[in-house]
Amino acid sequence: MRWTGSTGVDMATSGVPSGRVARGGKLGRLAAEQTVRGVGTRLSMIGRTEEARQVLAERSAMKTAQQIVAVLGSMKGSAMKLGQMLSVLDLDFVPEAHRAQFTRQLAALRDRAPAVEFPTMRRVIEEDLGPLSGIFADFDETAIAAASIGQVHRATLRDGRAVAVKVKYPGVERAVHADIGNLEFLSKMARSVLPSMADTGVLEEIAANLRSELDYLREARTQHRVAQRYRGHPYITVPDAIEQHCSHNVLVTEYVAGQGFSHLQALPAADRDHYGELIYRFYLGTLFTDNEFCGDPHPGNVLLAEDGRLAFVDFGLYNRMDPEHVDFERSCLRAAAEDRPEDLYAAWVGRGIIDPDAGVTVEECLAYVWAACGWHLLDEEVTITPELATSAVLLAVDPRSVEFQGMRQQLLPPEHVFSRRADLFTFATLGQLRVRANWHQLAREWLYGEPPATGIGRAIARWRAGR
């Protein structure tokens, strides 16, 4: 449906529950209903044949996924962000035969989340920018994407440029702050579906970073700067922000026509590997080359543009890092790659990451880094699968597994939480593509300053040299 003129609108409701009690209640009911459903399914399986049990298990998993999508999608904010994160993990609480179907349901939170009706969103736009007709020649009322903070519409400016208009959900700022107060409820819900994600510290990190996503003017400035950096890049494109039309609640950027992540997943292996290297370079290489990075790697933020380049969108979670802290991460990765556990241990003790009296051994430090980051460190080709990526993510989130009992006292400094999240969820995103590469050879460019080892890397180096 296209916008064609003024619309009478009831603006009293936004469809986004924003009160702490309301949001906590929805999450509490969701957790309770999953418990009841689990008991009911187990009871219904008594005396059934194996084939019947499989059918019931599948139905239960699908109902659970559909309810999580409906509840977290309608809540938006940090609750929905949690669901998006779950969608890139290989969830072992679901029977293996049904896991792929369950993940596809959760993927709706990044690709097809429930949108708010246009009349409500139009009010948001016009309160910030004035009448639509003053800026847009055409405005598609049907959202093309709906995410945790806002939804996106396609439009045409009066000067003829095609644009994407991201509009913040009414009430979402109150909702995010309510979720911060409801961390206990979020923790209970997370524990019901994925115990390793239930640590309050993880949820606090998600909510804290969501606050920065609420600042669309900051995001517009960031996106403009990054777009300029990638202007003319041979493989990557970033749509520029149209800053004069951006506001606290509305972000207008260039429109990128292209295919979503599911299209990338269906490509031949060689093509997936090609785009996997670009994802790796964009989300992780920039930390070490530019001291900044996008902290929200997930499939919904990656598009295959019509010109064959990979487009990256959504810069709400974008972070600059002190070069000193970047060098610390680089030195730790190098120590692990070079089998120098004593140096790694000393660095962690010196930074306060581990307590020297906690009983953590130098070998345990090295093993932990290899378990979580070994894909960067192993000098051979590695195929990243959802299972491999999930194991690394869960280990890093909850190191209190049997293998790493001594890591209970690990305390990641705040300045490194964001970069580690980017690392882990880049890994998870690549796992969804099942890509293969010698990731260590790519990483050596920024770990050791070596020349590129791939054709993509050499082409990018030539482009940079010619700018």
Residues ≥6 apart with Cβ < 8 Å to 433: 264, 265, 272, 275, 276, 279, 384
172 and 35 within one domain: yes
Cα gap 198→193, rounded to integer Å: 9
> Which ranges of the chain have pLDDT less than 70?
1-114, 176-210, 393-412, 414
What is the DSSP code (8-state) at residue 339?
Answer: T
122 and 6 within one domain: yes
Has residue 16 been placed in a domain?
Answer: yes
328 and 200 within one domain: no
Dihedral sign from CA coordinates of 354, 358, 363, 368? negative
- Residue 425 three-state SS: helix
Residue listed under structure tokens 């060098």: 327
Has residue 63 been placed in a domain?
Answer: yes
Given the DSSP bridges, would you call strands 136-139 and 145-146 parallel, antiparallel or unpaired? unpaired
Residue-level pLDDT at 360:
85
Within 13 Å of residue 435, how many CA atoms lie on the same side as its CB? 25
- The residue from 214, 248, 273 where one domain ends is 214
182 and 60 within one domain: yes
Residue listed under structure tokens 């418990």: 35
Whether 108 and 69 have beta carbons less than 8 Å apart is answered as: yes
196 and 345 within one domain: no
Has residue 419 been placed in a domain?
Answer: yes
- Phi then psi for residue 365, to 5 deg, are -60, -50
Please count the structural domains in the chain. Answer: 2
Residue-level pLDDT at 422:
86
Whether 110 and 299 have beta carbons less than 8 Å apart is answered as: yes
Has residue 157 been placed in a domain?
Answer: yes
Name beta bridge partners: 157: 136
Cα gap 327→294, rounded to integer Å: 18
Cα gap 429→190, rounded to integer Å: 20
Cα gap 368→388, rounded to integer Å: 15
76 and 206 within one domain: yes
Whether 63 and 41 have beta carbons less than 8 Å apart is answered as: no
What pTM was computed for the model? 0.74
Has residue 278 been placed in a domain?
Answer: no
Whether 19 and 178 have beta carbons less than 8 Å apart is answered as: yes
- Residue 17 three-state SS: coil
Residue-level pLDDT at 47:
42
Query: HEC states along 32-93?
Result: HHHHHHHHHHHHHCCCCCHHHHHHHHHHHHHHHHHHHHHHHHHHCHHHHHHHHHHCCCCCCC
Has residue 184 been placed in a domain?
Answer: yes
Cα gap 279→182, rounded to integer Å: 34
173 and 37 within one domain: yes
Residue-level pLDDT at 204:
61
Cα gap 245→257, rounded to integer Å: 20
Whether 18 and 41 have beta carbons less than 8 Å apart is answered as: no
- The residue from 196, 214, 232 where one domain ends is 214
Domain that holds residue 90: 1-214
Name beta bridge partners: 166: 152, 251
Cα gap 16→260, rounded to integer Å: 26
Residue-level pLDDT at 335:
96
Has residue 280 been placed in a domain?
Answer: no
Which of 61, 164, 157, 149 minimizes the C-alpha distance to 113? Answer: 149
> Degrees (nearest 5) of the Cα angle 70, 72, 73?
60
Number of H-type helices and E-type strands within the chain = 19, 13
- The residue from 214, 235, 270 where one domain ends is 214
Cα gap 420→438, rounded to integer Å: 20
- The backbone region for 160, taken as left when phi is positive above 0, alpha when psi lies in -120 to 50, beta otherwise, is left
Has residue 311 been placed in a domain?
Answer: no
329 and 199 within one domain: no
330 and 195 within one domain: no
Cα gap 83→79, rounded to integer Å: 7
Cα gap 165→139, rounded to integer Å: 9
- Six token digits for residue 235: 């493989």
Give residue-wise pLDDT tens across range 329-338. Answer: 999 999 999 9
Using a 10 angstrom Cβ sphere, with 0-12 exposed, 13-18 middle and 19 or more buried, the burial of residue 292 is middle
